[in-house]
Structure 1
């Protein structure tokens, strides 16, 4: 695993160099969803501190078993009935995919006194199978989103259509970056974070401005099946 992590880090550094960026501006989020706590401990031994998860019920058991200095990112679809459990566990939620969900998070944050850091998930390709704000309507919803005083909206996230070639993702990453830039200019806000890029396209994502890349399979191999009791 350490060799895998180092290879991914090297490729991130190379992509940053090619695009004239500082590699320290890119954070590797190692995606450990479905992997047990002992796998996370191995990654910690290889100097990894940021991890991505997507199942709140599973994470409520796993995260408390691990060192408190780790930085946990929620990257899956967040159900409203799991918000209250998720907020204490994660330093950032990458996948706020609707105004309705953002409002629900804000209400609970007002109750518990927290200030959740969030990213807005954009369905850049308009895929019916995926969650997310429509790229064409997000700007119209920004006024309502910016009224949610408990939320720290720090940027955008997307998951482009799965493709064999990493280059196929580039146009979607560019679209998201340009949307972010337009929002910053129009609303006079700062959205420094772009959560783009996974195992198959993270180098391209870094070239196009990623500040967070979510990599699992390239580090840990294929996901483990959950124990269903069968």
Structure 2
């Protein structure tokens, strides 16, 4: 437990420092501890160290953890969303980070109505146009934004992105800035508030915060780089 607590302290200190460099309040950033492939016992250690918000990317892996761990924990789904998993995701996760198409958003809204839920979501944007990654192309998002904003039952918090893999954190800065600029332009064009930006992971979350991130998804900097055994399978 002490090791995880120490790592959490270090990450929180770096969040505080990054906020200080750009004149932001540290409490403007939500730290999501990415717990995919991490067993419940270690998540419990992080919870004991004061971490409340956790991110999972596979519904099947997350379900037994959510059932076992304290109800006070808050769960964000940060993986790619499959249509056939939405019905199970909505009751379990308070925020879905990767709504990557109008079709998926519409289906999510329909199911939310059926289930009597009001989920919060991020719209995933493929800022770099990478073929291997999901997400709205910026121009398509702009074209479909009016329709997205009219969908009932879902609250669009803002935008999410995953930048291209790079050797250093600074290489991600232009992509983070591009997402922020897109968000700002959508707010002006559609007269809407999109207050949140989900961007930044263990290797680049400080840069992401400097560029406006409100939610950072940090896993290995807290739990280490090991692959843990989860439900009899390696995650």
Query: TM-score when scaled to structure 2?
Result: 0.95
| Corresponding residue for residue 27 of structure 1 | 30
| Corresponding residue for residue 123 of structure 1 | 126
| Corresponding residue for residue 225 of structure 2 | 222
Q: Distance in 1 between matches of 2:61 and 2:7?
A: 25
| Corresponding residue for residue 155 of structure 1 | 158
Question: Structure 1, residues 163-214: CA drift from partner, whole Å, max 9, x if none?
Answer: 1110000000000000000000110111011001001100001101110000
8 Å CA contact retained: 1:18, 1:207? yes
Q: Distance in 2 between matches of 1:143 and 1:155?
A: 14
Aligned alpha-carbon RMSD (Å): 1.1
Task: Give the one of 93, 112, 115 matched to 2:96.
Answer: 93
Q: What secondary structure does 2:182 align onto?
A: helix
1:74 equivalent in alignment to 2:66: no
Task: Give the one of 206, 209, 213 matched to 1:210.
Answer: 213
Unaligned runs of 5+ in 1: none
Task: Give the one of 157, 164, 185 matched to 1:182.
Answer: 185
Q: Matched residue pairs, number? A: 229
> Could you say if the C-alpha distance between residues 223 and 135 of structure 1 is closer, same or farther in structure 2, counting changes exceeding 3 Å?
farther
Q: Distance in 2 between matches of 1:168 and 1:21?
A: 22
Of residues 170-179 and 59-68 in structure 1, the stretch that sits farther from structure 2 once superposed is 59-68
Query: TM-score when scaled to structure 1?
Result: 0.97
Q: Distance in 2 between matches of 1:34 and 1:15?
A: 28
Q: What secondary structure does 1:160 align onto?
A: coil
> Could you say if the C-alpha distance between residues 228 and 44 of structure 1 is closer, same or farther in structure 2, counting changes exceeding 3 Å?
closer
Q: Distance in 1 between matches of 2:77 and 2:39?
A: 16
Unaligned runs of 5+ in 2: none
1:12 equivalent in alignment to 2:15: yes
8 Å CA contact retained: 1:33, 1:223? no
Q: Cα distance, 1:136 vs. partner?
A: 2.2
| Corresponding residue for residue 109 of structure 1 | 112
Q: What secondary structure does 1:128 align onto?
A: coil
